[in-house]
Amino acid sequence: MTFLLDSGYRILNGQLPYVDFFEVNLLPIFYLSTVPVWVSQWSGLGVIVVTHLMVFALTLASAAITDNLLVHAHQHRALLLINRSYVPILYGLLTGIAFMFGYGQREHLLMLAFMPWMFLRCLRLQNHPYPHSHALLLGVASAVAFTLKPHYALMVIFVELMLVARARHWRLYLQPEIAGVFGVALVYAVYVLAFPQVIEAYLTRVIPIAVMGYDVLGNLTVFDLTWGDPGMRILILLALAGFAVGMRRGANATLMQASTLAVIGAVIGFAVQGKGWSYHQIPATWAGTWLVAMLIRWITLRPAIQNLLRRLKHLHVIMLGIGVFGVFTILFVSTLLWAQSPYLQSDRDVILSIQTRVLETDGVMILDPYLTHVYPTLVQAGHWQALQRYQTTAGIEMAYYGALPTDVYMDSHVPPPVAEDVVGAIISSLSAPTMRLVLIRDGISPFGNYQVDTYRYLMARPAIRTILDQEYVYLETIDEFRIYERKRD
486: enclosing H helix or E strand: strand 481-486
pLDDT digits 0-9 by tens, 242-295: 888 777 655 567 888 888 999 999 999 888 887 777 788 889 888 888 888 888
Asked if 89 contacts 323 with a C-beta cutoff of 8 angstroms, the reply is: yes
Stated pTM of the model: 0.78
Whole-number average pLDDT of the chain: 80
Report the sign of the C-alpha dihedral through residues 78, 82, 83, 85, in that order. Answer: negative
Q: What are the start-end ranges of the E strands in 23-131? A: none
Q: Tell me, what's the pLDDT at 340? A: 44
User: Band of the pLDDT at 125, cuts 50, 70, 90?
Assistant: confident
Q: Tell me, what's the pLDDT at 9? A: 83
Length of the chain: 489
Q: Rounded to an integer, what distance in angstroms lies between the CA atom of residue 154 and that of residue 178?
A: 17
3-state secondary structure of 473: strand
Asked if 218 contacts 448 with a C-beta cutoff of 8 angstroms, the reply is: yes
Q: Looking at the predicted structure, is the pLDDT value of residue 339 above 50?
A: no
Q: Tell me the average pLDDT across 132-143.
A: 92
Q: Give the number of other Cβ atoms within 10 Å of residue 132's Cβ.
A: 12
User: Band of the pLDDT at 402, cuts 50, 70, 90?
Assistant: low
Q: With b meaning 16 or more CB within 10 Å and e meaning fewer, what string describes 325-337?
A: eebbeebeebbee
Nearest to 6 by CA among 280, 194, 29, 426: 29
DSSP state of 453: B
Q: Looking at the predicted structure, is the pLDDT value of residue 374 above 60?
A: no
pLDDT digits 0-9 by tens, 56-102: 899 999 999 988 888 877 766 656 567 777 788 788 878 877 877 77
Asked if 145 contacts 110 with a C-beta cutoff of 8 angstroms, the reply is: yes
Q: Tell me, what's the pLDDT at 375? A: 58
Report the sign of the C-alpha dihedral through residues 119, 121, 126, 128, in that order. Answer: positive
In the chain, DSSP finds a helix count (H) and a strand count (E) of 21, 4
Q: Tell me, what's the pLDDT at 144? A: 92
pLDDT digits 0-9 by tens, 451-483: 889 999 999 999 999 999 999 999 988 878 899
Q: Tell me, what's the pLDDT at 380? A: 55
Q: Rounded to an integer, what distance in angstroms lies between the CA atom of residue 64 and that of residue 52?
A: 18
Q: Which residues pair with 438 in a beta bridge?
A: 365, 484
pLDDT digits 0-9 by tens, 170-207: 788 889 999 999 999 999 899 989 999 998 888 887 88
